[in-house]
């Protein structure tokens, strides 16, 4: 249950060189679903396990994490020699590395992991709408192929895109979302969850009072039908940003031909100023369960509820 809470919180938030001419002539590559992209060095391909690029044969990786725009100032202060040392990294250099559309700085260092010597490059770039944290790690054994100049040249091509295609975002999920119910995609956690919301793109979908629905997959679930209501109530208790909760209905039902459970409740936002209505649907099957949570102001519930149901009924296995 704590994992679902962390997913919800995560969605509110919603991790210079010579020889650059050949890279600049190539096209920037964006890992599917990521707002960040660059021209990867020859021999590297998009990773299937993280946002970034990798060369498994040489054990070289470029890991790209997108953070809120305001994170740049904090990272600028917190990435220090002492902080890196606590992570086992020895700082070598720190320098400004301005990009065409972002302020940035580059840190280089070394680390020893399981007796293997690893070189590291950490680029932090502050774009207008996102902060990029890009980490490159390469063993000394790959130094002849992935030279400092090659990796710096790749990092110098880092850029961001204002819009990530919806199809790319939804393609990261372990289930299909066949119906958006008129909502926009407010955030995706690859392999786990999606938030659909009426909130503006510049807002936080979890902090808004506009109608929004969260869909996440969890492993396990109750083995017996008699255990489902208790399980559903426990799951409901993980929903953040609610107070004065009063459950009005709690009942079993079938959802897309599978066993499920529905809870509808009244509540207030954390400030206590707005009355909310909340629905949670759990759908069980295949050793896992789907948690679907729709929230709207009570006065907007009549219009929001059919849209929540449309999303619910459009969730399909991949």
pLDDT at 3: 52
| 137-161 tens-digit pLDDT | 999 999 999 999 999 999 999 999 9
Q: What percent of the chain has pLDDT over 90?
A: 72
pLDDT class of 201 with cuts at 50, 70, 90: low
pLDDT at 60: 96
| 248-307 tens-digit pLDDT | 999 999 998 899 999 999 999 998 899 999 999 999 988 899 999 999 999 999 999 999
Q: Which residue has the higher pLDDT, 85 or 9?
A: 85
**Rounded Cα distance, 290 and 218, in Å:** 6
Q: Is the pLDDT of residue 100 over 50?
A: yes
Q: Is the pLDDT of residue 171 over 60?
A: yes
**Rounded Cα distance, 56 and 258, in Å:** 40
pLDDT at 48: 86
**DSSP states along 10-48:** HHH-----TT-HHHHHSPPB--TT-SEEB-PPTT-EE-S
**Rounded Cα distance, 166 and 313, in Å:** 19
Q: What integer is the mean pLDDT of 58-67?
A: 95
Q: Name all domains of the chain by residue range, CATH numbers in brackets.
A: 2-160 (3.40.1000.10), 166-317 (3.40.1000.10)
Of residues 119, 138, 112, 120, the one with CA closest to residue 57: 138
pTM: 0.69
**Rounded Cα distance, 106 and 124, in Å:** 7
Q: What integer is the mean pLDDT of 228-249?
A: 95
pLDDT class of 91 with cuts at 50, 70, 90: very high
Q: Are 158 and 36 in contact (CB under 8 A)?
A: yes
Q: Are 4 and 240 in contact (CB under 8 A)?
A: no
Q: State CA 224 to chain mean position distance.
A: 33
Q: Is the pLDDT of residue 237 over 60?
A: yes
Structure tokens at 137: 């790690």
């Amino acid at each position: 249950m704590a994992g679902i809470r962390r997913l919800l919180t995560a969605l509110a938030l919603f991790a210079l060189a010579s020889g650059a001419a050949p890279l600049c002539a190539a096209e920037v590559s964006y890992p599917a679903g990521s707002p960040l992209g660059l021209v990867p060095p020859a021999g590297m391909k998009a990773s299937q396990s993280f946002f970034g690029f990798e060369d498994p044969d040489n054990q070289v990786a470029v890991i790209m994490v997108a953070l809120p725009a305001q994170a740049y100032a904090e990272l600028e202060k917190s990435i220090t020699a002492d902080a890196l040392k606590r992570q086992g990294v020895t700082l070598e250099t720190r320098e400004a590395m301005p990009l065409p559309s972002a302020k940035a700085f580059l840190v280089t260092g070394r680390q020893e992991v399981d007796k293997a010597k690893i070189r590291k490059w950490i680029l932090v770039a502050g774009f207008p709408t996102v902060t990029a944290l890009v980490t490159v790690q390469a063993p000394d054994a790959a130094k002849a192929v992935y030279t400092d100049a090659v990796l710096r040249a790749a990092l110098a091509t880092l850029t961001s895109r204002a819009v990530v295609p919806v199809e790319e975002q939804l393609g990261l999920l372990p289930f299909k979302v066949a119906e958006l119910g008129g909502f926009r995609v407010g955030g995706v956690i690859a392999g786990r969850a999606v938030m659909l919301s009426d909130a503006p793109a510049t807002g936080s979908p979890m902090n808004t009072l506009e109608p929004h629905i969260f869909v996440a997959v969890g492993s396990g679930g109750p083995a017996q039908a008699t255990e489902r209501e208790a399980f559903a109530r426990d799951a409901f208790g993980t929903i953040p940003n609610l107070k004065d909760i009063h459950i009005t209905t709690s009942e079993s039902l079938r959802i897309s031909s599978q066993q499920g459970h529905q809870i509808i409740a009244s509540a207030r936002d954390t400030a206590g100023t707005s009355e909310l209505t909340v629905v949670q649907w759990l759908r069980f099957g295949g050793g896992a369960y789907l948690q679907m949570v729709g929230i709207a102001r009570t006065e907007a519930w009549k219009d929001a509820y059919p849209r929540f149901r449309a999303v619910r009924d459009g969730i399909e296995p991949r």
